[in-house]
Amino acid sequence: MRDTAKANGCPFHTGAATTADPKNDPYAWWPSALNVEILHQHDTKSNPLPDFKYRQAVRTLDVEALKADLRKLMTESQPWWPADYGHYGGLFIRMAWHAAGSYRAADGRGGANTGNQRFAPLNSWPDNANLDKARRLLWPIKKKYGNKISWADLIVLAGNVAYESMGLKTYGFAFGREDIWQPEKDVYWGSEQEWLAPSDQRYVDLDNPESLENPLAAVQMGLIYVNPEGVNGQPNPRKTAQHVRITFARMGMNDEETVALTAGGHTVGKAHGNGNPAHLGPAPEGAEIEDQGLGWLNKTTRGVGRDSVTSGLEGAWTPTPTQWDSSYFDLLFGYEWELTKSPAGAWQWQPIGIRPEHMPPDPEDPSKRTMPMMTDADMALKVDPIYRPIAERFWRDPEYFSQVFARAWFKLLHRDMGPRTRYIGPEAPQEDLIWQDPVPPGPRDYDVGAVKRAIRASGLTVPELIATAWDSARTFRCSDYRGGANGARIRLEPQRRWEANEPERLEKVLAVLEPIAHHYGASVADVIVLGGNVAIEMAAERAGYAIEVPFVPGRGDATQEWTDVDSFEWLRPLADGFRNYLSPQYHRLPTRQRPEELLIDRAHLLGLTAPEMTVLIGGLRVLGANYQNAPEGVFTDRVGTLSTDFFVHLTDMRYRWAPLADNRYALIDRESGETRFTATRVDLVFGSNSILRAYAEVYAQDDAHEKFVRDFVRAWTKVMNADRYDLRP
C-alpha cells in the first residue's frame, strides 16, 4: 500500500504562503507586472477599528493631562533603556523628527501623518535605529489614553512636548493624524537592494545634487536626508551643504528653515557610537521572536546608556543637551574643528582646544565631562556661503532663532496634514500660513439650479466642461492633502499655464464660467465643478438616463497672494492617464515609468480604488475628455454620450491590436483588416492586465449600462469632493 503521508510530505504542512518570501508573490515571475494592489491598501480587513472615527474621538482628549504625563515620563529613566542625562527628550525629538522627516514634496508621501514609523521598512531603517525603544517607552501613555490618541499623533506630540520641557516656546500643535495598520506598499524609497548603498545610483551626476532621482528626498536607502559622515560617508562639508540644500528643499524647506532645523535639532540630545556596531543584532523586522519586535540589541556587551550604538557617531553637540539655548552656535563658531573618528569608527568633527565649560556631561554621570562633536552637516552650516550668514544671525539673535525654529519645526510636523481646517485641538494655531494652501470659505446660499441652467445655455461643450473640472480636481493628493478643486487654483499661477491644463482651452472656459459665478454670487471653484456635473448629466441623458450629479456648494476661491507658486510646481502633472496625457518632458527622463504605472500612481494619490479608476477611464474616454481631443482610447462613434462603448470595444474579440509607434496602437478588424480605433498603453492595460480586465468585463456586459452610469457618477463625485474637508468630520 502506498504511503500517502510520505509521498505527499508532512501531513501537517500548511499550504499557505505565510512569509514574505518574494517567491510567494503571485507576480514574482513577472517583476514588471502592474501593481494594482497599492490601490487597495488599508481597507477594513486590516483595521481592528473599522467603525471607529478617530477625528471625532481625539476631540474628547484631555490634552493637558496627556502632556503632563508625557513630561513626567521623560524624566523617569528606565533601566532597560536608560535616559541620556536623565531625560528622554532628545530621543523623543529624534523619533518625531524622523517620522515627519520622511516626507517628500514631490508626491506628498512619507511623513508622520499615518504612524507608518511602526511598520517596515521605516521601523528598520538604519537611520531609525533604536527609535523602537522610544515607541516602547511611550507605550504606557498609549495604553492609558487608548483610542483617544493615535500613534501617529502621539509620536510627533512627544517630540513637541520634549522641546517644551527643555525650554522652547513651540508654535503649537494639531491633532488629527489617523493610524494605518500595515506597511505602506505604495511608497517608492529607491531601487537599491541594500541599506546605505552608495548614493551614486540615486543621481544622474553625484556632483550635481539637483539630479537626485524624483521623488526621493534622501541621499541613501535607509536615511532620512543626508549621511552625517558626508557624501557617501566621505567628509566634505562644502559638498555636504549642497546635498543638504536639495534634500531639505525636497522636504519643502527653504535655506533659513534648513539652518534652523539643523541647528535646533542638534541643540539637544546626543549621538550614540560608543561601542562596536558588529555587536548589534538585526533590525526589528529581522529580530528573533523572543525580542518582541525590538531590534539592534547588543547581546554581547552592555549596549545601553553611554555604551549604546545608533548612528555610530558619538557625543553631544552642546554642553547643555537638555536645554534649549544658543550654545550650539557658541561651539560651532567659537572653535576650529578637526576630523576624527568615533569609537564605533564613524567620521565626525571635534573642537580644537575645547574649554572645560564647553564639554558636555557624561549621559549617565554628570560629574564627568565628554568631548562634543559635530557632523559633516553641522560643519556645512559654517562653510557654506548661504548657510553661514543665516547661522550667524541666529547666533547673534537667539530669540529670532527660537522663533524661526519653532515655526520650521511646526511645519516639519504638520507639512503632510493639509490645510488648517483639518487641524484639531486647543493648541492648533489660528494663523494662516502660505504652505497650508489657504482657501477662504465660499458662498453656499446661491441658486445652484440657476447656475446649472446658465452653464447649459453657455455654448460650452461636454468635453470642454469635463476637462476643465477634471483638471481643477486632479491635483489632489491624499498623501499630504494638497491640491484639489477647492480654491480654483487652476485659474492662478502656476496652474493657469501648465501645458497639461491646455491654457488656450482653459482661458476660453474660464471666460464663460467666471462671469456666471459673479452674476449668481457663486465661487468660481463651485462653478467649475458644476460645469463638469452639468456635462455628465447631459451625457447621461443622451444615453437614456436622467440623473443628478451630487453637489454641495461652499468651495472658496484662493488668491494668487496666498498661493506658493514654487510649491505648487510639485503638483504639475507629468502624466495624466485619465486624460491620456504625457508631457514631452516624459520622453527626456533618464529612467521612465510606463504610462500605465503613472496612471496607477495618480489614481492612488486621488484615493481611488481600481474599480473606480476603471470606470472613470471608460467614462472620460467616451465623453471626449482626452488631452487636445486626441482620438486614442475614444472607442465610440457617439462622443459625449455616457456609454459603455470603451469597454465593449476593448473586450470584443472581433478585433486585434497592433503597435503603430511609441505608445500608439491600432484596433484592427480581424476580418477586414481595417483600423477601427487607436489607443495608448493606458487604454490597453485595461484589456491586458488580468485584474483590470476583470473590472472592464463587468462594464462590457449587456446588463451594465445603468450600473456604469451610476458608478461613474459616484467616482466622479469622489474626485470632485476629495478636498471638501468641511463635508466630513
Kindly report the number of other CB atoms within 10 A of residue 8's CB atom.
9
Kindly report the number of other CB atoms within 10 A of residue 675's CB atom.
13
- Which uninterrupted H or E stretch holds 608? none
Distance CA 664, CA 661 (A): 5
Distance CA 116, CA 108 (A): 14
Q: Is omega for the bond preceding 494 within 30 degrees of 0, making it cis?
A: yes
For residue 601, the 8-state DSSP code is H
> If phi over 0 gives left and psi between -120 and 50 gives alpha, with beta otherwise, what is residue 684?
alpha
309, β-bridge pairs: 273
298, β-bridge pairs: 280
Q: Which of 13, 42, 87, 98 is catalytic?
A: 98
CB 246 within 8 A of CB 358: no
Comparing CA positions, the residue from 605, 600, 623, 637 lying closest to residue 709 is: 623
CB 526 within 8 A of CB 703: no
Q: Which residues, in sequence order, are CB contacts of 658 under 8 Å at separation 6+?
A: 665, 666, 668
The grid cell for 727 is 463635508
Longest dimension (CA), the chain: 93
Core vs surface per residue 393-408: b (16+ CB within 10 A) or e:
ebbeeeeebbebbbbb
Core vs surface per residue 72-106: b (16+ CB within 10 A) or e:
ebbeebeeebbbbbebbbbbbbbbbbbbbbbbbbb
Give the chain's count of helices (H) and strands (E).
23, 9
- Side-chain half-sphere CA neighbours of 225 within 13 A: 28
Q: Is 98 a catalytic residue?
A: yes
339, β-bridge pairs: 349
Distance CA 606, CA 438 (A): 20
Rg of the chain's alpha carbons, rounded to an integer? 28
CB 532 within 8 A of CB 607: no
Q: Does residue 234 sit in helix, strand or coil?
A: strand
Comparing CA positions, the residue from 484, 416, 459, 515 lying closest to residue 217 is: 416
CB 312 within 8 A of CB 346: yes
Residues assigned a catalytic role: 98
